[in-house]
Amino acid sequence: MLNLSIFTDFCSLWWAWWILPFLLGLLLGWARWAKWRKMYDQLMSDHNSLKATLKKTEDDLGACLKKRASLDSEISMLNGQLKERDAKILQLRADLEACRSAKAAAPKVAATPPQAPKVENVASSIAATPTPPAAPKAASNKYAKLKEDNMQIIEGIGPKMESVLHENGIKSWNVLAGKSHADLKGMLDKYGDKYRIIDPNEWPAQAALADKQDWEGLIAYQKSDGSDSKAEKVMVKLGIIKAWKENDLKAVEGIGPKIEGLLNNGGITTWRGLAQTSVGKLKEILAAAGDRYQLADPTTWPKQAELAADGKWDELEEYQDFLQGGKNPG
């Protein structure tokens, strides 16, 4: 006969069939949790490593920025020193040229006293003598509108900065020329971060040129880095000097718009180019344009153009005062 006790025992253990899947699921869940936990720990480790790298990079960047600021300050100081030396070179060249001019103009000592001209020949002697150039106007007359407390002719100084200088007793170019870089930085530091970043390194050198009334030297100093001259702009605004665009040939007395067009068509477009052109070539250009231009005398044009190209505006003005319609008198 069939033994039914086996089925009875199997039915009494029904709960074992439910525990087995549960244990298998629990084991599988634990295995998956261990896997994800390991991945999480790895990601956290990578995260912390990247944070440390980022912190080190930020620290390195901060150090680089400080180093750059220090180097920028040194470069600015060196540029200021270079400009000061350039200004000294310009001043020495001007002094040398003045000495040469004075030496050339000094009268030679005659071996015998000069004979007085006969009375009847005085009139003819005077007529034969060309009229000398007019004596240069005193700088104080021409530049009377430029007061010594006008600090705005110095590059880097505007109305607000001028007020700051005046408040601190710096009311003349002479006083500013005597200030050191440390003195000026200490003064600016009192006014906060807005003024602390300003570099006054070049102010004393410019003020020294202004104090000597070496206006050509000051303009050349300010243009030495290729920028426009602040002093020149102020002088134009005050009406002290004429405003000419770079290489405007009409700055030469005797050249108007039509003649300028003729010269441009002939390949002469700059002051330097005009200065290097022979008078004969200029006459050929004028003659080719017709009879109406043959009355123009280009004899003085190259010299005027050379003075303009060299930025010697005072000498150009004095020379043009001597000329009559762009021509030599007499």
For residues 290 and 328, the model is more confident at 290
Query: For the ranges 51-55, 63-67, 297-301, which has the lowest average pLDDT?
Result: 63-67
Looking at residues 182-201, what average pLDDT do you find?
87
Query: For the ranges 18-32, 63-77, 166-180, 283-297, which has the lowest average pLDDT?
Result: 63-77
* 317 vs 143: CA distance, rounded Å: 13
Query: For the ranges 106-110, 114-118, 169-173, which has the lowest average pLDDT?
Result: 114-118
* 276 vs 266: CA distance, rounded Å: 13
- DSSP string of 181-193, one letter each residue: HHHHHHHHHTT-H
Sign of the CA dihedral running 307, 308, 309, 314: positive
Identify the pLDDT of residue 207. Answer: 92
For residues 131 and 303, the model is more confident at 303
- Look at the chain and count its residues: 330
Query: For the ranges 157-166, 287-296, 321-330, which has the lowest average pLDDT?
Result: 321-330
Widest distance between CA atoms in the chain: 182
Residue 75 pLDDT more than 90?
no
Structure tokens at 251: 């700055």
Identify the pLDDT of residue 132. Answer: 39
Amino acid identity of residue 7, one-letter, is F
A 10 A CB-CB count for 300 gives 19
Give 211-221 pLDDT, tens digit per residue. Answer: 988 888 888 88
Q: How confident is the model at residue 278 (pLDDT cuts 50, 70, 90)?
A: very high
* 304 vs 274: CA distance, rounded Å: 9
Identify the pLDDT of residue 316. Answer: 83
Residue 272 pLDDT more than 90?
yes
By percentage, how much of the chain surpasses pLDDT 70?
Answer: 78
Identify the pLDDT of residue 107. Answer: 55
Give 111-164 pLDDT, tens digit per residue. Answer: 444 444 443 343 333 333 343 343 344 444 677 778 888 888 898 898 888 899
The residues, any chain, with a CB within 8 Å of residue 214's CB and separated by 6 or more, are 91, 94
Cα 256 to Cα 93, 250, 251, 260, 329: the distances in Å are 34, 6, 9, 6, 20
Residue 325 pLDDT more than 70?
no
Structure tokens at 182: 């440390």
* 158 vs 92: CA distance, rounded Å: 30
* 215 vs 217: CA distance, rounded Å: 5
Helix/strand/coil percent split, the chain, to 5: 65, 0, 35
Q: What is the DSSP letter of 227?
A: S
From 263, 265, 241, select the one nearest 250 (Cα to Cα): 263
Looking at residues 321-328, what average pLDDT do you find?
73
Query: For the ranges 28-32, 43-47, 227-231, 294-298, which has the lowest average pLDDT?
Result: 227-231
The residues, any chain, with a CB within 8 Å of residue 206's CB and separated by 6 or more, are 153, 154, 155, 218, 221, 222, 231
For residues 113 and 95, the model is more confident at 95
Residue 89 pLDDT more than 50?
yes
Q: How confident is the model at residue 204 (pLDDT cuts 50, 70, 90)?
A: very high
For residues 86 and 47, the model is more confident at 47
Looking at residues 11-40, what average pLDDT do you find?
79
